Structure 1
Amino acid sequence: MIRLLHTADWHLGQSLMGWSREEEHDRALATLLDLAEARDIDALIVAGDVFDTQNPSEKAERLFFRTLVALRRRLPHVVAVVLAGNHDPAGRIEAPHPLLAELGVHVVGRIRRRDGAVDLDHHLLPLVPRDGGATVHLLALPYLGPASLPPIDRRSEEPGSPVVRAVRAFHEETIAAARARIGDAPLVLTGHLTVGGGLESEGAERRILVGGEHAVPPDLFPDDLAYVALGHLHRPQAIGRPTIRYSGSLFPLSASERDYDHGVSLVEIEAGATRVEHLSIPHPVRFLRLPARGSLPLEALDAALADLALDVETPLDLRPFVQPVIRLDGPAPGLKADLDRIAGAHPIRLVGHLVDRPSADETATRLPESVDLADVAPADLFARAFAVEHGTPPEPAHLEAFARLAEAVERGED
């Protein structure tokens, strides 16, 4: 049997609204190593986005290498396979490969070719079970940039996206070459892309296919693959079948991810069967929406924070992230300053805020379906737009300010 631990989307070096995540990464990766040792894994797959930027900081790179060294010391037999994602510097992450290979780490930053075909000596790795069972082969594919794909024929009259056709052709060719070499032995595939049907995290994940395309269909991966280890989407989830899986990120990387059950995927392959288990990793710090449901007025925020009974001695890097949802009945030009002032009195880290406004009266704010702007006074357009944005009509002071601005524009003033 081969036992794999599948993880992805570490995003080392990430900050959230200016707050460092270094302590969280340190703790989450320590938990990952504990799980790897407790489950006695044979291989670790990191399916892309190891780093958060193309130019990772010294601290981020140090944590990456420290984690690999710790893995080697605790589990000397483990093979680690690290793939570049769309956030990663592909060449930079692959440059220390000769050194990392001494630690049992195989790094794949970009697609290598030999004689026009994918170089299987670099991308196809045998994983030999310690109990003498059948060898499992890993086809290690990183994020596919434009240079990785066959020529994209945008003039073809074939239905569907030419980019998706190119991605499909690449996978068909590469999987067929792997099969020609290994026969019907168990084959694991990696990928860093969006697969159709996956649930995305709002505002957290880029659309990364070439040419602005969004996703590939799950039938890109043939049924005879033992497992498909995916990266890019931060929510742990299976796509289509249990053996096509995003492990998800180690902890919430944005407010939209705070309720996910973050962790890693344990994959056991034996005698032609694959078992997949999600292993949770506790969030290193709390990530709170305040209130948990609904919204609260600004004047109630201070009391709500006090009710959390947080320890004022908590180190800054371990203070909870808080995203308040503020109910407003009208304009609040000083809202950000008020929130910063209130939050500053509590041991929290403010990560933005949401605003809950009463629905504007549609009959008062909606323009006719077809309107000639020449027939609508600018002041009326302003009043309608203000009501839609703030849920209340503009006050006389707002109308006077708009009138002064309109007069200045007519006079050609800056």
Structure 2
Amino acid sequence: MKILHTSDWHVGKVLKGQPRAEEQLTALASVIEVARGERPDLIIVAGDLFDTAAPTPEAQKIVYRALAALRRLAEIVVIAGNHDNGPALDALRVFAESENLHLRGRVSDKPADHLITGVTPGGEPWRCIALPFLSQRYAVRALDMFELTQAEAHSTYADHLSRLLEAIAAESFTDPSAVNLVTAHLTVVGAAMGGGEREAHTILGYAVPSTVFPPNTHYVALGHLHRAQTLPGHCPVRYSGSPLPVDFGEEENPPSVTIVEATADTTALVREVPLPSGRRLRTLRGTLEQLSEMDPGDDWLRVVVSEKPRAGLREQVQEMLPRALDIRIDPAMLETKHPDRPARAERSPVALFADYLADRGHDDPATQKLFEELYQEVS
């Protein structure tokens, strides 16, 4: 059978105040075009369809239209990520199931609820364990169906995930003629972050080894990390990456989807299919003179200015580079000084502000004068 694996759409993401709905729409149109050309038997969307749990109507329209277009091409399995509203996704299941669109928003206390089965048009049976994002807070609560000892109840997040997957696989991965799949939204030990993920949900306490996945799995389709990569395991363990760079930390991540060809008795073959990059995210560095000689193109820019801070510097950069969304001073220009000085209680606000500017490498008379004027006005 052939599988198209995608994840981390993050529709609704605003980059430094700049809406990107048109870019997100174009990226998903590219995913649909790949699906139309590849004609997969199954499409897996491994979480983070939205960038927020309260998406705007526009973001919902983009996502649901994309799912509707994909559903016309193949059966779909969708799980919620840490950015999604799991209960809201589950609420749509009553409408979606009749359309070959399988949604799983929350981890259920019924293991069988996370098993999705099907048969390809060519007659190949498949089984897919669909595991939405599970926070540490609810990991033990999701395992209430087990009779846990005191030690087991206080075991690690990885132990809980492993026990949950084993419980589902024990009753479902029993047909030797079926292709066994797992899709989950989590962090695997040894994986490289893409640069735009939510830090609290990628720290070590959330990382699990690839050994948590059942040994008779043929392919593991992951979401959560935005860089496309394959990790070692009993079978290919794969992050498809995001179809659109989410933040400037991901400017070096080429957007793609993953095509997988798997059978019940052979190793799955994984192929990365690049997507058009659209408008790029770029970082430019240099002095004002150097920046003036660079070609910004049509890209969104992060600009690191190699000059001492001063009043009006940001405005100069913005005028020179209208697509600069993030302007910052090179840290090398911000040498912190700690001269001996009297206690703060003995000094005026104007003097304290002058010290602050000096400490930050921003010893600019115009800024100091403006502060003095403002201070005199309010006092």
Q: TM-score, normalised by structure 1?
A: 0.76
Q: Is the 8 A contact 1:365 1:385 kept in 2?
A: no
Structure 2 Cα separation of the partners of residues 136 and 384 of structure 1: 68
Report what 1:342 is aligned to.
Answer: 320
How many Å apart are 1:144 and its aligned residue? 1.4
Structure 2 Cα separation of the partners of residues 357 and 233 of structure 1: 28
How many Å apart are 1:366 and its aligned residue? 8.1
Alignment of 1:57-206 (within 5 A): 57-73=56-72, 75=73, 78-113=74-109, 117-118=110-111, 120=112, 122-133=113-124, 135-145=125-135, 146-147=137-138, 149-150=142-143, 162-179=156-173, 181-182=174-175, 185-206=178-199
Report what 1:314 is aligned to.
Answer: none
How many Å apart are 1:61 and its aligned residue? 1.1
Report what 2:375 is aligned to.
Answer: none
Equivalent of residue 302 in structure 2, options 319, 323, 342? 323
Structure 1 pair 128/321, CA: closer, same or farther in 2 (3 Å)? same
Name the SS for the 1:249 alignment partner: coil
How many Å apart are 1:252 and its aligned residue? 0.6
Q: Is the 8 A contact 2:286 2:304 kept in 1?
A: yes
Structure 1 Cα separation of the partners of residues 83 and 324 of structure 2: 26
Report what 1:287 is aligned to.
Answer: 281
RMSD: 3.7
Report what 1:226 is aligned to.
Answer: 218
Q: Give the letter aligned to residue 164 of structure 1.
A: A
Structure 2 Cα separation of the partners of residues 208 and 397 of structure 1: 43
Q: TM-score, normalised by structure 2?
A: 0.82
Q: Give the letter aligned to residue 53 of structure 1.
A: T
Structure 2 Cα separation of the partners of residues 284 and 401 of structure 1: 42
Q: Give the letter aligned to residue 251 of structure 2.
A: R
Structure 1 pair 14/339, CA: closer, same or farther in 2 (3 Å)? same
Structure 2 Cα separation of the partners of residues 156 and 327 of structure 1: 57
Q: Give the letter aligned to residue 165 of structure 1.
A: D
- Single out whichever of 9-18 and 241-250 deviates more from structure 2: 241-250
Structure 1 Cα separation of the partners of residues 367 and 342 of structure 2: 16
Q: Is the 8 A contact 2:158 2:212 kept in 1?
A: no
- Single out whichever of 335-344 and 10-19 deviates more from structure 2: 335-344
Report what 1:371 is aligned to.
Answer: none
Unaligned runs of 5+ in 2: 345-351, 372-377
The sequence identity of aligned pairs, in percent, is 31
Report what 1:268 is aligned to.
Answer: 261
Structure 1 pair 147/264, CA: closer, same or farther in 2 (3 Å)? same
Q: Is the 8 A contact 1:86 1:143 kept in 2?
A: yes
Structure 2 Cα separation of the partners of residues 56 and 359 of structure 1: 39
How many Å apart are 1:15 and its aligned residue? 1.1
How many Å apart are 1:337 and its aligned residue? 2.6
Q: Is 2:329 the partner of 1:355?
A: yes
Name the SS for the 1:191 alignment partner: strand
How many Å apart are 1:382 and its aligned residue? 9.7
How many Å apart are 1:230 and its aligned residue? 0.6
Deviations 1:347-406 (A, max 9, x none): xx3220343254788xx9589xxxxxxx97558x9999867743x8x589999999xxxx
Structure 1 pair 387/187, CA: closer, same or farther in 2 (3 Å)? farther
Equivalent of residue 288 in structure 2, options 291, 295, 298? 298
Report what 2:36 is aligned to.
Answer: 37
Structure 2 Cα separation of the partners of residues 157 and 386 of structure 1: 54
Name the SS for the 1:138 alignment partner: strand
How many Å apart are 1:88 and its aligned residue? 0.7
Report what 2:12 is aligned to.
Answer: 13
Unaligned runs of 5+ in 1: 311-318, 368-374, 403-412
How many Å apart are 1:164 and its aligned residue? 2.9
